[in-house]
Every structure is written in C-alpha cells, then in structure tokens.
C-alpha cells in the first residue's frame, strides 16, 4: 500500500498548474429526464416511471488553470464503476479532459431512473443517454468558462437530517426507528450538520454557480411511479430563483442519515427542505471572502476492499437485528448471484479521489458511508477544510462503522445493499485523509 501512496503524491504534484495560469470556471446542465416506462431505482421494488414531477439533470462544473478539473453531478441514486469509466471516456474523447481529472457523483435521489439492475433491469438505452448528457454538461461548462473567483462558506443545519438508526433496549438498532416505541433508547450516532458551500462568480461580477455539500438521504416519492429529483432538485430550483444559475448538490456521508424525524414529528416536504438549505447557503455566504485559487490539483488511489464473511443466518435473514426493506422475494432473488460474485472476486478495487480547489479539498468516496466515516475524514484532514462527496466514482453499498454490525439494522443486514467487510468504510476514509495530507506537506 505504501507504494500506491507515493504514486498519488507524485500525481498531486505533477497536476499542480503553473502559478501564472489564469483561474477560470464554468457551469453547465443538461436535462436527462427519462421517458415513461423507464425502470426506477431506490425502493427495491419493480417500479417504472410514469410521468414527471420535476426533471432529472446532469450538471457539471469545470475549474481550469491550464489543466481543467471537472465535477459531474447526476440526479440519480448512485453511479457504478462501469458508468463512471464510460462518462470519463466520453468526456476525454469529446473535451480532452483526462478521466483522472473527472469526478462523477450522484445525489442519491430515490425517485430517479435505475442505473443498476435493482428489482428490474436498467434500461441500457437510457444509460447511454445519461452518459452522453453528462459529457454534454461538461462541454457546456467548458464553453461557459471565464475568469473567476471562489468563496467557501458553511452553515450549520439541525432541522433537516436525523440519524435514522435508533438503539433499542435489547442492544439492537432499528433503521427508521421511532422514539414513540417504549423500547427506543437513543440515536446510534451523530449527524453531520455542516452545509458546505463553494460559490463561484465571474471575476468581480455575478454569481456563476455554487456547489452545496450536505449529508441526508433524499427519499421523497421513492415508492411512487413518477420521476423526481427529490430535495436536491428542489434546492437547485430554489437557488435559481435567488440568483444562482446552476447548483451542483454533492451528497455527503448519508448512509445512516435521513430527513424523517424519529421523534414522530411530521416529515418535511422536499420543497421545504430545499428552502431551508437555500437559506443555509445564503447564511454561509453572508460575508464571502472571494479569492482566486492558487491550487488546482487531483489525486487518486485504489484500495483493496474485501467482501464480508457471511453466515448461514446472514444469508437466510435470521441474524440478530436483520432488517430488510423492499418487495417480497427481493433478497431471495438477489443473494445467490451476490454470493457467486463474492466467491469469485474475493475483493473490490475501490477508487478514492481527491480534488483540491484552493484551500478546499473534495474527497470522493465510492460508497454509502455512515456519517462517522465522513466526520473522520473532515477531522483527519484538518486544517484542510474538506467536503466529503459520497456516491461518487463507483458504489460499494452501505459502509457502516465497525461497531454497528453487532446491532444489526437495515444497513448492516447482508444482501445487495450491504456486503462489504466491516472495515471497508474506515479503509476508504483513511485513504482519503492520506491523500489530503500528502498534498499539504
């Protein structure tokens, strides 16, 4: 592993542009709303989209000081390694940006088109359109480039996200547990209340766009049949009315965090959450310090992540604390193929990628990591301020913190959403911290 860290340090240093280069930035977006009948994803159920509540987009930002960096954001549940590779290849072929300098992130929207074979096979024609739309968004961002400045800010938000795992009196954990249950004791873990903001404006002029980083599951309308972008889409639309032409929402470490309140209070609508987060963005930028980034760099490494060792009770859904969501028979249909893959491959090579934009680091995690892993990255990378971008450049499924497995709950129950070793999230977080520290020496 030490040799791979050395290689990534070299990549960071080699990718740093010449100090004399002008910093430019641009944004682009492309509507990639699927047609009726396209399979949906996010509910472990056989659902197709019939109608559109609000559109699905591919969005991109390009930062440039001679060698561009591109971030692509998709209004979908996740992006796998194969589609990440396809998007990078298309961007490189069409726009000459190397794939190593492209980050592809999903908002984790649960009311969008299927990008994996969940309960229904995904539509490959639609996937081809999604890949093309992502590359087109990068092209529009390139065309939008002009001399620019950035401002980084934060707000703290306590009224949107809640840790959805509730510890019960018997020591187990219930996902989407309720404190109305007399056996409910406490939240298992904290949330990450930070709303991180990276705003971009034309040099001395108008706002061009903004990146917003926050950790909370977007599950609105998940079990319904129309397409929607969820609360991230509502945030984008709300910010557009407030003078932010394009917003990229970068989902944080939200594996155990959701907007449904375990205290039993009414859930907020996606529009209400969009307005709340837009207010947070405004607070984060009340006194912006506009600067021209002196650093623009990329680094990545690959980490070998083993699959979980499973028991017969795990496979049968009888292990302590097992909790399964989805239509009847979903796990029984999926587990045999999952076990065959695990026996054949033994482990996964997972990509950890870090972008530096001035004093800010963006750490991509190919996973549905628990909040403790995201907080560990932020703490371990200090004093470098870091946005943790999960659901990016691949997907390993849920990565709980190691102690959580003894409690069970949905995210720890063996199956398609959760099958990596307990140490997986920690290994990815440590790799991200090592990359950030290496570049800061």
Q: Model confidence over 100-133: pLDDT tens digits?
A: 999 999 999 999 999 999 999 999 999 999 999 9
pTM, entire model: 0.95
pLDDT of residue 308: 96
Mean pLDDT for 335-339 is 97
Total count of residues recorded for the chain: 441
Residue 9's contacts (CB-CB under 8 Å, 6 or more residues apart) are 299, 438, 439
Q: Would you place residue 138 in the very low, low, confident or very high pLDDT band (cuts 50, 70, 90)? A: very high
pLDDT of residue 440: 73
pLDDT exceeds 80 at position 20: no
Q: Angle of helix 81-95 relative to helix 124-143, nearest 10 degrees?
A: 40
Residue 199's contacts (CB-CB under 8 Å, 6 or more residues apart) are 150, 151, 152, 153, 207, 209, 210, 211, 244, 285, 288
Structure tokens at 245: 């032409």
Number of domains in the chain: 1
Mean pLDDT for 5-30 is 62
Q: In 204-329, which residue ranges form alpha helices assigned H by DSSP?
A: 230-241, 270-284, 312-316
Structure tokens at 51: 């109608």
Q: How far apart are CA 411 and CA 425, in angstroms?
A: 13
Q: In 73-112, which residue ranges form alpha helices assigned H by DSSP?
A: 81-95
Q: In 257-398, which residue ranges form alpha helices assigned H by DSSP?
A: 270-284, 312-316, 330-345, 371-381
The mean predicted confidence, pLDDT, of the chain is 94
Largest CA distance in the chain: 64
pLDDT of residue 291: 96
Q: Would you place residue 9 in the very low, low, confident or very high pLDDT band (cuts 50, 70, 90)? A: very low
Mean pLDDT for 390-394 is 98
Residue 81's contacts (CB-CB under 8 Å, 6 or more residues apart) are 351, 366, 393, 394, 395
Mean pLDDT for 387-416 is 97
Q: Would you place residue 21 in the very low, low, confident or very high pLDDT band (cuts 50, 70, 90)? A: confident
pLDDT, tens digit, 9 for 90 and up, residues 339-361 = 999 999 999 999 999 999 999 99
pLDDT exceeds 60 at position 6: no
Q: How far apart are CA 23 and CA 148, in angstroms?
A: 6
pLDDT exceeds 90 at position 328: yes
Give the residues across from 248 on adjacent strands: 211
Q: Would you place residue 204 in the very low, low, confident or very high pLDDT band (cuts 50, 70, 90)? A: confident
pLDDT exceeds 50 at position 15: no
Mean pLDDT for 68-80 is 98
- What is the residue whose two structure tokens read 């963006």? 362
CA distances from 314 to 317, 318, 336, 395 (A): 5, 6, 12, 21
Q: Which domain holds residue 181?
A: 2-440
Residue 259's contacts (CB-CB under 8 Å, 6 or more residues apart) are 160, 161, 162, 216, 217, 219, 231, 267, 268, 273
pLDDT exceeds 60 at position 429: yes
**Least confident segment among 111-115, 398-402, 437-441:** 437-441
């Amino acid at each position: 592993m030490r040799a791979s860290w050395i290689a990534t340090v070299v990549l960071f240093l080699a990718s740093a542009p010449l100090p004399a280069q002008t910093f430019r930035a641009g944004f682009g977006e492309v509507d990639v709303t699927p047609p009726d009948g396209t399979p949906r994803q996010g509910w472990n159920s056989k659902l197709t989209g019939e109608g559109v509540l609000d559109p699905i987009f591919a969005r991109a930002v390009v930062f440039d000081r001679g060698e561009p960096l591109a971030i692509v954001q998709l209004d979908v549940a996740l992006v796998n390694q194969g589609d990440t590779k396809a998007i990078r290849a298309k961007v490189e072929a069409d726009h000459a940006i190397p794939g190593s300098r492209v980050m592809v992130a999903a908002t984790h929207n649960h009311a969008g088109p299927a990008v994996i074979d969940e309960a229904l096979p995904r539509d490959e024609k639609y996937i081809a359109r999604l890949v093309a739309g992502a590359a087109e968004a990068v092209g529009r961002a390139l065309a939008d480039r002009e001399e620019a400045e950035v401002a980084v800010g934060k707000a703290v938000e306590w009224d949107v996200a809640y840790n959805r795992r509730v510890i019960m009196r018997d020591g187990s954990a219930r996902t989407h547990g309720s404190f109305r249950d007399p056996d409910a004791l406490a939240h298992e873990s904290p949330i990450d209340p930070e709303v991180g903001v990276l705003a971009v404006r034309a040099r001395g002029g108008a706002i061009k766009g903004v990146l917003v980083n926050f950790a909370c599951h977007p599950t609105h309308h998940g079990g319904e049949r129309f397409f929607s972008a969820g609360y991230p889409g509502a945030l984008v639309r709300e910010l557009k009315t407030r003078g932010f032409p394009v917003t990229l929402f970068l989902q944080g470490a939200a594996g155990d965090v959701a907007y449904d309140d375990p205290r039993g209070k009414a859930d907020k609508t996606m529009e209400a959450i969009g307005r709340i987060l837009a207010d947070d963005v405004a607070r984060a930028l009340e006194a912006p310090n506009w600067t021209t980034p002196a650093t623009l760099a990329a680094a990545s490494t690959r980490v070998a992540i083993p699959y979980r060792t499973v028991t017969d009770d795990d496979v049968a859904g009888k292990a302590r604390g097992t909790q399964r969501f989805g239509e009847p028979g979903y796990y029984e249909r999926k587990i045999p193929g999952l076990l065959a893959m695990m026996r054949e491959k033994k482990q996964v090579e997972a990509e950890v990628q870090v972008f530096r934009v001035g004093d800010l680091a963006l750490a991509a995690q190919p996973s549905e990591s628990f909040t403790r892993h995201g907080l560990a990255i932020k703490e371990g990378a200090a004093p470098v301020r870091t946005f943790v971008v999960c659901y990016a450049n691949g997907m390993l499924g849920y990565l709980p913190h190691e102690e959580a497995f003894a409690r069970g709950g949905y995210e720890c129950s063996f199956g398609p959403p959760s099958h990596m070793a307990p140490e997986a999230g920690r290994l990815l977080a440590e790799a991200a911290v090592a990359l950030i520290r290496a570049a800061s020496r």
